[in-house]
Amino acid sequence: MSETSYDAIIVGSGAGGAATAFSLVEAGKRVLLLEKGKQLPKDGSTLDVKTVFKEGRFKNREPWHDGKGGEFVPGEFYNVGGKTKWYGAALLRYSDHEFEPDPGFQCLGFPFGLDEVAPYYDTAERLLAVNHFPNEPELQSLVDGICKSQTGWRNAPLPLGLKPEILDDEAEAKHFDGFASAAGYKSDAEVNLIRHLEGRPNFTLMTKKKVVGLRHPEGRPEDVTGVVCLDGTAYDAPAVVLAAGAMTSPRILQDHMAATGLGDRLPCADAVGGNFKLHLNSALIGLSPFRNADVLRKTAIFYNDAFPHSTVQCLGWIDGEILGTQLPAAVPQFLSNVAGARAYGFFVTTEDGSHAKNKVVSGHGETPTLDYDLDRIPASRKEHDAVIDAFKRRLLAAGMASADKYTGLAGTAHALGSMVMGTDPVTTVVGPDNKVHGMSGLYVGDGSVLPRSSRVNPALTIYALGLRLGGHLAAGTA
């Protein structure tokens, strides 16, 4: 038993966990935030290309099975702030129609609409200081070439969680997309939410605390009263929020069901881990005949009505060193440097439909499995291939040769959907209040609950839903 009394325990300090904690602490509730990892160093190593990309020092190294007999290592991060420390800080809202079901594309719907989430979007954008930056000259010229009249392509400013001061720090400006800011120029869950809670008497952050079990009264595993950590410590609260990410939260519940026999009588048991989504994401590199001088670069996003479930957004700075980490070792560095000096990066994103068999499965202490097959979501695969081909043609017309690479299973930056939200207690895992169907005291507050991935980065929506959950828990309405 913990000697301290808490109103809520939150497992995971990423976007959803930090946002839920923020709302609860602001409302005067006593919150314990548990993080499996620790805080990142501020010595500049998180900006070093070799350390971050080539060595992968800060990334997860735990292997998973892929459902087809193979193994892979998902691109997860376990540190205070979670993956928000490493994201590109693109903070976009879902459109109104992206809360609705789209059966033709195998898309589930939310149990509420944009009007329910809009106030929390407003708050999240304020807390994360979302800005728009003008396109730099060379990018603007390229945008104009891509979006010529009657091409079908249009662009919009990309909302970014970046402080304007980043423009005065070239090292940070060139290393924010996929890096963790050492100076705090990038809005993330730690800098913009957790740090504002530090020192408050009703907030406790504990690091190196891996949660391995859920506490419950004897004979009533459906009534969750706390958590057990790998180090043997245990903590109790009337509300436990799983916010460890869509790769981890469902495994905690699956392990609890297996250990207690709850899976035999919990209506939603079969749905836990299912409907996993991670977007179909491909990196696309365009090569110009001219050397590029733009630095920030990640300031525009492209849409085309012919591909309603897809977007293309600019990536941040690319040079020979960064490009070299993605090329075969046999490619000489001087060739990487030549290509990098002329390269622009793009991120092609397509919403993936939901399928119950696309699933996270716990190994119950052994190697877990991510069984995800594109053949189960053919409409998504077809549109993704088509939008890549169409955008490459536009780049060629604008004077750039290009090549693309699908990120595959290891690209779990946008992992979602494995504890999906809905009103059906059999086919969905949590209700509109984020509480697990058929259980008391257990809530989910991360990207696991999102029924749709939409065509844009999900971070802002995860922040917004976390703020909503925290507010409802504080008011006693969850």
The pLDDT tens digits of the residues spanning 204-232 come to 999 999 999 999 999 999 999 999 999 99
pLDDT band with cut points at 50, 70 and 90 for residue 1: very low
Average pLDDT over residues 461-467: 98
Grade residue 4 by pLDDT with cuts at 50, 70 and 90: low
Tokens (6 digits) for 244: 């460890």
Query: Residue 119, SS3?
Result: helix
Query: Which residues contact residue 431 at a Cβ distance below 8 angstroms, ignoring those fewer than 6 apart?
Result: 111, 421, 422, 423, 425, 437
Q: Mark out the alpha helices in 242-305 (DSSP H runs).
A: 249-260
Q: How much is the pLDDT for 76? A: 96
Mean pLDDT value across residues 396-420: 94
pLDDT recorded at residue 453 = 97
Asked if the model's pLDDT at residue 417 lies above 80, the reply is: yes
Query: How much is the pLDDT for 331?
Result: 52
Whole-angstrom distance, CA of residue 475 vs CA of residue 478: 8
Residue closest to 312 by CA, chosen among 345, 358, 276? 345
Arithmetic mean of pLDDT, 128-142: 95
Is the pLDDT confidence value at 183 over 90?
A: yes
Instruction: Return the SS3 of 265.
Output: coil
Report the b/e string of 31-42 with b at 16+ CB within 10 A: bbbbbbbeebee
Query: What distance in Å separates the CA atoms of residue 13 and residue 80, rounded to the nearest whole number?
Result: 6
State residue 291's pLDDT score: 79
pLDDT of residue 87: 97
Query: To which H or E segment does residue 156 belong?
Result: strand 153-157
User: In the beta sheet, which residues pair with residue 277?
Assistant: 416
User: What is the average pLDDT score of the chain?
Assistant: 95
Give the pLDDT band of residue 320 (cuts 50, 70, 90): confident
pLDDT at 180: 97
5 band by pLDDT with thresholds 50, 70 and 90: confident
Q: Supply the pLDDT for residue 141.
A: 93
Identify the pLDDT of residue 289: 78
Structure tokens at 165: 């001061």
pLDDT exceeds 50 at position 257: yes
**Average pLDDT score over residue span 428-451:** 98
Q: What is the pLDDT of residue 2?
A: 46
Beta strands 234-236 and 300-304, pairing class:
unpaired
**pLDDT surpassing 50 at residue 63:** yes
Q: Which amino acid does the sequence have at 48?
A: D
Instruction: Count Cβ atoms within 10 A of the Cβ of residue 134 and give its class: 0-12 exposed, 13-18 middle, 19 or more buried.
Output: exposed
Task: Please state the length of the chain.
Answer: 478
* pLDDT range class, residue 292, cuts 50, 70, 90: confident
Tell me the C-alpha distance between 120 and 136, whole Å: 31
Task: Answer whether residue 471 shows pLDDT above 90.
Answer: yes
| 442 pLDDT higher than 60 | yes
Q: What angle do CA 229, 80, 40 make, to 5 degrees?
A: 120
Rg (CA), the chain: 22
Check whether 239 has a pLDDT greater than 60. yes
Name the residue with tokens 């525009």.
300
pLDDT for 52 beyond 90? yes
% of the chain with per-residue pLDDT over 70: 96
Across residues 431-459, what is the average pLDDT? 98
Residues 6+ apart with CB under 8 A from 30: 4, 5, 6, 7, 8, 202, 203
Query: In the predicted model, is pLDDT for residue 339 greater than 80?
Result: no
The closest of 289, 245, 296, 273 to 446, measured between CA atoms, is: 245
The residues, ordered by sequence, that sit 6+ positions from 332 with a Cβ below 8 Å of its Cβ are none
- Share in percent of the chain as helix, strand, coil (round to 5): 30, 20, 50
Give the per-residue pLDDT at 321.
Answer: 83
Is residue 4 within 8 A of residue 205, CB to CB? The reply is: no
Q: What is the pTM of this model?
A: 0.96
Question: What is the pLDDT averaged over residues 194-205?
Answer: 97
Question: Over 70: is that where the pLDDT of 334 sits?
Answer: no
Which residue, 218, 248, 205, is CA-closest to 6? 205
Three-state DSSP class for residue 350: strand
Alpha-carbon distance of 267 to 439, in angstroms, equals: 10
Which helix (H) or strand (E) is 382 found in, with range? helix 378-397
Cβ-in-10-Å burial (0-12, 13-18, 19+) of 461 comes to buried
What's the average model confidence in pLDDT over 253-270? 97
Mean pLDDT of the 349-353 span: 98
Average pLDDT for 359-369: 96
Predicted pLDDT at 478: 82
